[in-house]
Chains A and B, each alone.
Chain A
Amino acid sequence: MIKLENISKSYVKGKKSVDSLNLEIKDGEIFGFLGPNGAGKTTTIKMITGILNADEGKILVDDKDIKKDSISAKKTIGFVPDTPDIFLKLKGIEYLNFMGDIYEVPKEIRKQRIEELTKKFEIYDNLNEEMQGYSHGMRQKIILCGALLNNPKNWILDEPMTGLDPKASYDLKEMMRKHAKEGNCVFFSTHVLEVAEKLCDRVGIINKGKLIFVGTFEEMKTKLKDNGTLEELFLEITQDE
């Protein structure tokens, strides 16, 4: 469960990048976070994961305050950042072992999870290679594997489909569904409206720092002109603001 209570953040005095945001993502739910470039999506995600401190408000991850009880809260999060170019001089297996050590994943489980995840994403045969030789998609996959290695309860994924090939993208979506079905929480940002429509139980749309819509796609359609395309709906919501 992820709960944001009245969250605000400013980078420049007098201009709020995220403004009084209230949101609750329940266990068993896939939540898509939408919005135009610079709307505040990544800032919100950075606050949930503890990278940024909110100026106001409170963020709870599984009832743990990310500010006051950060280590316990972070242990329940599997985070995939928007750029996968991390520790490129390490081999894939070195990176996964490192993540396993950081999240204290026992050897047998680690071995089983590494095999399962990397075979699913078809990078098992590349684990003994330095990540700098990986393509963008392969880097994205290894970061996903690292984030999911300890089977965290709450997945927070910033643009996770970017760079993935169709099969990997399909597999990830299936994994997200399965994870939510098992009573866990998946929160991800995306620009691809079709993905959000097909995958998410609910979506939130943020624009200029304000959450302007939260609900299902059906609710979005009823609220606005019902025969519009997804893009038209999205544009109507964000332009009205």
Chain B
Amino acid sequence: MNKIISLTKVLLKNSFQKYSENNKKTSKVGKIILYGILLVYLMGIFGFLSYGLITTLQQVHQEAMFIGIFLLGLALLTIIQSIISATNVFYFSKDLDYILPLPLKPREILISKLNVILVTEYVMELIFAVAPIIVYGILTSAGAMFYIVSLLVLIIFPIIPILIATFIIMVIMSFSKGVKNKDRFKLIAPLLGITLALVLSFAFSGTSELSEADLLNALTQANSMVEMVSDSLPIIKPGINAIVNSSFIEFLKLLGITAICYIVFILIGNKLYFRGAVGNLDSGAKKGKNITGKDIKINSVGKSYVAKEFKILFKNPIFFVQCILPSILMPVVFFGIFILSINSNNSQEAINEFKNVLSGFIETPIGLAAILTITEFLTSMLYIAPTAISRDGRNAIFMKYIPVPYHKQLVYKGIPNVVFGTITSIIVLIFVYVVAKTSILFLLTAFVLNLVLLILQTILMELVDLRKPKLEWSTEYAVVKQNMNLLWPFVLNLLEIGIIFIVSIPLSFTNYSITAGILLVLHIIITYFANKYMYKNQDKLFEKVS
């Protein structure tokens, strides 16, 4: 047991490492304030959303259904996130070479690694799950037992989704032995895992036919979805019962199911993990063909530099999965589920009416602000610009000895961020078009605004990375998982959303084009000055790269 605790501690320190070292007290206080603001901001958003949903449900006396939707969402989010975490913790972290020679049982290594994922999920629960439970408790005037049982449920609940995610990724990774291109396989594995998890979760959903009044229809649809998924995930029902009825017995049921799954997992995982992990994922030297005249290619400095950036992002599975994938995958998955569930559970008439209502709302200043906010939120998960310098590690000095001005290099390094952010923006706009049939002019306006916001975001994120680049790392995983700079996208995102709403709320009764015009001019001016600052101070900004 002691060994497991020690190893878990080391692995955790390795994951969230070293921020306290060499730091002045003032910066520690600053960080605590920063975390505090972020936590309150995110908890606030989820608390507010929960408040809206619970009060709506209370009107039809269906508030208990909220807990079902909440636990279902939590389970799915945990599975998706754990698939990415499990791929990193179990397969990409490259720590097995150091751990395997130690006198540890395979079981101890497996449990320690699971603990690392569990701690990550607890952090996520703190952000996403605590506020909704508190809001529910207040609105339903729940007693102390409710909070105690809810806390216990939240502690136990993520374990089975983590086991499912880890199991899926272990099965996929066990096939890596025969794969020729290991890097591409590493890139595809988490994608495959998430697809598989979603297919499993939703395989049986979307077939119920209900035709009641609109609101009730939507509610029953949510309920039926919960019921269907709870069939495939045995923890949801006891979870609902435990929280809704503040029942300790139901919690014990949940605990029992989890304990059985855990033991079974450890027995299987012992064999599955070490078979897929040891040595199988190292990409050795591949014998290539000899070069020909065609391989000697001439390009402009800019084109060559940008191509190099793209190649490194694409060829490096960790960078691709961590820096690009979330901002592309999240909208595709969530919008896909949203569209599917609307279309499968409603009559054509209801769908059209829903679309008309939505269309009327979207083509307004607030609708525009909402679209920009969603895109901003999604692109803040794009970690290309915030790691532009850090990704090069110790080799970042390369930027300083080649005869290319620093500012130009920053522009080249920012281009992939803008390109992938634009893809996210297009996905959002396609979704808006599909559900609300908005005008092309409106979509174009939103697209241009998104683009300007994205360029500004890219410049600011590069400045953040230059301020404190993380250049000392031994695995690429550290660039993303041990980099506090990556909190800044959320902070700047919060400010940006503030600006958008400050402009759009007073103009909410006017045509959206006025809001768009003001936002465009404002952001072009801010972008111009941010770029000018970067240009003027390029030498100073690169001082930390040495």
Q: In the complex, which residues 300-345 of chain B have their Cβ closer than 8 Å to any Cβ of chain A?
A: 300-301, 303-305, 308, 311-312, 315-316
CB <8 Å contact, B401 and A74: yes
Which of B89-97, B391-399, B493-501 faces chain A?
B391-399
Contacts of A90 in B (CB 8 A): 308, 311-312, 315
Q: How far is it, in angstroms, between the C-alpha of A132 and the C-alpha of B183 when the chains are bound?
A: 11
Q: In the complex, which residues 249-303 of chain B have their Cβ closer than 8 Å to any Cβ of chain A?
A: 283-291, 293, 295-301, 303
Q: How far is it, in angstroms, between the C-alpha of A71 and the C-alpha of B403 when the chains are bound?
A: 5
Q: How far is it, in angstroms, between the C-alpha of A132 and the C-alpha of B283 when the chains are bound?
A: 8
User: How many B residues have CB within 8 A of the partner chain?
Assistant: 40
Contacts of B284 in A (CB 8 A): 133
Q: A53, A102, A114, A132: which contacts B402 (Cβ < 8 A)?
A: A102
Interface size range of chain A in the complex: 35 or more
Q: How far is it, in angstroms, between the C-alpha of A75 and the C-alpha of B539 when the chains are bound?
A: 18
Q: A65 at interface (Cβ–Cβ under 8 A)?
A: no
Contacts of B546 in A (CB 8 A): 46, 51-52
CB <8 Å contact, B286 and A101: no
Q: B73 at interface (Cβ–Cβ under 8 A)?
A: no
CB <8 Å contact, A49 and B301: no
Q: B183, B296, B539: which contacts A97 (Cβ < 8 A)?
A: B296
| Residues A103 and B403 in contact in the complex (CB < 8 Å), given A51-B546, A89-B312, A97-B296 | yes
Q: B405 at interface (Cβ–Cβ under 8 A)?
A: yes
CB <8 Å contact, A128 and B295: yes
Q: B183, B291, B405: which contacts A71 (Cβ < 8 A)?
A: B405
CB <8 Å contact, B304 and A97: yes
Nearest-Cβ distance from residue B203 to partner chain A, whole angstroms: 37
CB <8 Å contact, A102 and B290: no
Q: B349 at interface (Cβ–Cβ under 8 A)?
A: no
Contacts of A133 in B (CB 8 A): 283-286
Q: Which residue of B lies closest to A130 (CB)?
A: B286
CB <8 Å contact, B286 and A129: yes
Q: How far is it, in angstroms, between the C-alpha of A46 and the C-alpha of B305 when the chains are bound?
A: 23
Q: How far is it, in angstroms, between the C-alpha of A86 and the C-alpha of B283 when the chains are bound?
A: 17
Q: Which residue of B lies closest to A86 (CB)?
A: B395
CB <8 Å contact, A126 and B288: yes
CB <8 Å contact, A50 and B308: no
CB <8 Å contact, A128 and B291: yes
Q: In the complex, which residues 115-145 of chain B have their Cβ closer than 8 Å to any Cβ of chain A?
A: none
Q: How far is it, in angstroms, between the C-alpha of A71 and the C-alpha of B539 when the chains are bound?
A: 12
Contacts of B419 in A (CB 8 A): none
Nearest-Cβ distance from residue B495 to partner chain A, whole angstroms: 33
Q: How far is it, in angstroms, between the C-alpha of A90 and the C-alpha of B311 when the chains are bound?
A: 7
Q: B543 at interface (Cβ–Cβ under 8 A)?
A: yes
Contacts of B543 in A (CB 8 A): 53
Q: B437 at interface (Cβ–Cβ under 8 A)?
A: no
* Residue-wise interface mask of B (388-417) relative to A, using a CB-CB cutoff of 8 A (1 in contact, 0 not): 000000110110111111000000000000
Q: How far is it, in angstroms, between the C-alpha of A128 and the C-alpha of B395 when the chains are bound?
A: 22
Q: Which residue of A lies closest to B302 (CB)?
A: A101
Q: How far is it, in angstroms, between the C-alpha of A81 and the C-alpha of B297 when the chains are bound?
A: 25
| Residues A81 and B291 in contact in the complex (CB < 8 Å), given A51-B546, A102-B301, A102-B402 | no
Which of A30-38, A104-112, A170-178, A211-219 faces chain B?
A104-112
Q: How far is it, in angstroms, between the C-alpha of A71 and the C-alpha of B297 when the chains are bound?
A: 24
CB <8 Å contact, A101 and B397: no
Q: A77 at interface (Cβ–Cβ under 8 A)?
A: yes
Contacts of A86 in B (CB 8 A): 395, 398
Q: A51, A104, A124: which contacts B397 (Cβ < 8 A)?
A: A51
* Residue-wise interface mask of A (61-81) relative to B, using a CB-CB cutoff of 8 A (1 in contact, 0 not): 000000000111011010101
Nearest-Cβ distance from residue A61 to partner chain B, whole angstroms: 11
* Residue-wise interface mask of A (81-92) relative to B, using a CB-CB cutoff of 8 A (1 in contact, 0 not): 101011101110
Q: In the complex, which residues 20-64 of chain A have their Cβ closer than 8 Å to any Cβ of chain B?
A: 46, 49-53
Contacts of A53 in B (CB 8 A): 539, 543
Q: Which 8 residue pairs spanning A and B have beta carbons closest together?
A: A128-B288, A133-B285, A101-B304, A74-B403, A89-B315, A51-B400, A129-B288, A86-B395
Q: A49-B400, A94-B311 are in contact. List 19 more A-B contacts (CB 8 A).
A: A51-B546, A71-B404, A74-B402, A74-B403, A83-B395, A87-B308, A89-B312, A89-B315, A89-B316, A93-B291, A97-B296, A100-B296, A101-B300, A101-B305, A103-B402, A104-B301, A110-B296, A128-B291, A130-B283
In the complex, 28 of the A-B residue pairs with CB atoms within 8 angstroms, ordered by the A residue number, are A51-B400, A51-B546, A70-B403, A71-B404, A71-B405, A77-B401, A85-B395, A89-B311, A89-B315, A90-B312, A93-B291, A93-B295, A97-B297, A97-B304, A100-B296, A101-B299, A101-B305, A102-B301, A107-B298, A110-B296, A110-B298, A126-B288, A127-B288, A129-B285, A129-B287, A129-B288, A133-B284, A133-B285
